[in-house]
Amino acid sequence: MSSISKSPAWLALSTHARDMEKRTLLELFAGDPNRATRFAIEYDEILLDYSKQRVSAETLSLLLDLARQADVEGLRRRMFAGDAINESENRAVLHVALRSDQVEFPAGRSVMGEVRECRERMREFVRLARSGKLLGSTGLPITDFVNLGIGGSDLGPRLVTEALSPAAGPEPGVHFAANFDPADLSGVLHTLNPETTLFIVASKSFSTMETLDNVRRAREWLGGRPDSGAHFAAVTANVSAARELGIDRQRIFPAWDWVGGRYSIWSAMGLSAAIAIGDDAFDALLEGARQMDAHFHTAPLEANMPVLLALLGVWNINFCGAESHAILPYCHALRKFPSYLQQLEMESNGKHVDRQGLPVDYATAPVIWGYEGTLSQHSFHQLLHQGTTVIPVDFIVPLHGPGDGKSQNLLVSNAFAQGAALLAGTPVGTAPHAASTGNRPSSTLLVDRLSPEALGQLIALYEHKVFVQGAIWNINSFDQWGVEQGKKLAHAIAEGPAIPHIDTSTAALMRRSHRG
């Protein structure tokens, strides 16, 4: 397959981009009184307003040609059919099965039996955990759960817990520790009681250094209780390693090779979140994602929200030179969303070779970054408004929140004000130091309120966006080989002494820290 960048659709977009450079956003709005409604799409809980992107109807039509050229629909069909589209690991990509309500899915090699069984076991465990009937080794009820995991085994459950637990009423304490740095776990444990605490070891591989080190320290903290097994549960594909730690088989929940870590919040990796928010809310989260799956699977490309979100990204990255993309949730409960999307987008699409192993000659994933608004305004918005690089922004704005009407009004108004200022800039004649050029692209994603359904739709929306971009760039979005080299070297450096062929800088640093 020749590079997508040589395709007629790509070449047409390159030419078109030079024309669009001459047209400002203000001109585009002036030329079309209906622009705000024409360049927006609504699906159930989410309105995506992309009228502040530097696109015209022709841009969209050319981008849709590119999606067809890249056969996005073909790859989508193959994912939903359970084909091994993660070629480098020869694995199917079936996180969509985790929220499916079909009896058999996918056709021919249904995984729904094991998905349902796992969900039932989760339900039972969550019921016990929330009813106070789960007892520790001394007979006291477990009141606190600590998730020990990292990456996809931490960010998803942490996001969902932080986003939804305030509305879920009284719940057990659910906490997270991910880092090697002992300050992380000890910061969590200092208020907890070993007799009433249960650790959920969340690790698909059960070989991740950070997680295993935290398990070691958790065991020490439990003080070698005769039955410390009562204080552990695990979510893993490596059952034997969990068993070696003495974790009861009944407390080991499965992970599967057809679900990547960063796509696993819908599985038992979401156990700690389900304990925090309750089973009904977790079901509603899955329901929201299921609705987005149905939309993504069936809507034509031009009326498909994940496809449009992906194409806007491709436009900014590949044709307008954007190298980063800011995610700004105007919602404290969504403060982890930028970190969550960092892993989802950059671990999935931070790739330099295509599916055939050939170097790509175009940019793939941008740097994803962000922070909650309005805190971001008092930190880095200066650069968004007046910096020398243009950074596309996604504003994510729930209209109703936990605050009183006045605070919520101020929060939402600030989000809208940022998008409007990025679009229009300052009036002609403003002194140079105070002037903003405007013409800076943004999209706004509105939800009425951050319900579990809305959050499920939002996460699934970005999952499918990443999928579509991976399809267009012809890269494998479902492996992460680049992370491995760093892990191997970290092991070697930790074990010391000298490592053959290590660079002299690292060797000197190792000597200085007595590792070499």
Query: Where on the chain is the footprint of ligand F6P (CB under 6 A)?
Result: 150-153, 203-205, 208, 211, 261-262, 347, 480, 483
Residue nearer to ligand F6P on the CB measure, 179 or 205: 205
Q: Of the two residues 195 and 210, which places its CB atom closer to ligand F6P in the complex?
A: 210
User: Which residues does residue 318 pair with via DSSP β-bridges, in sequence order?
Assistant: none
- Our CB check for ligand F6P shows the closer of 269 and 322 to be 269
Strands 197-202 and 173-177: unpaired
Question: Which one-letter amino acid corresponds to residue 209?
Answer: M
| Phi, psi for residue 37 in degrees, rounded to 5 | -90, -30
Q: Closer to ligand F6P at the Cβ: 35 or 219? A: 219
Rounded to an integer, what distance in angstroms lies between the CA atom of residue 432 and that of residue 381? 18
| Closest among 473, 96, 111 to 296, alpha carbons compared | 96
Least separation, in Å, of the C-beta of 490 and ligand F6P?
12
Instruction: Point out the catalytic residue in the list 22, 378, 488, 501.
Output: 378
CA 318 remoteness from chain centre: 22
- 3-state per-residue secondary structure call for 368-416: EEECCCCHHHHCCHHHHHHCCCCCCEEEEEEEECCCCHHHHHHHHHHHH
Active site residue 433: no
Question: Which candidate in 27, 117, 400, 487 is catalytic?
Answer: 487
DSSP code at position 450: -
* 442-449 vs 393-400, strand pairing mode: parallel
Nearest 10 degrees: CA dihedral of 304, 310, 312, 318? -150
Q: How far is the CB of 338 from ligand F6P (least distance, A)?
A: 17
Closest CB to ligand F6P among residues 142, 218: 218
In terms of phi and psi (left: phi > 0; alpha: psi -120 to 50; beta: otherwise), the region of 14 is alpha
Please give the residue whose beta carbon sits closest to ligand F6P in the complex. 261
- Least distance CB 243 / ligand F6P (angstroms): 17
Residue among 195, 210, 347, 372 flagged as catalytic: 347
Q: Which is nearer to ligand F6P, 64 or 268 (CB)?
A: 268
Own/partner contacts of 86-93, CB < 8 Å, gap of 24 or more, are 86/260, 86/476, 86/478, 86/479, 87/355, 87/476, 88/476, 88/479, 88/481, 89/257, 89/478, 89/479, 91/257, 91/258, 91/478, 92/258, 93/258, 93/260, 93/263, 93/478
Smallest distance, Å, CB 367 to ligand F6P?
17
Catalytic residues: 347, 378, 487
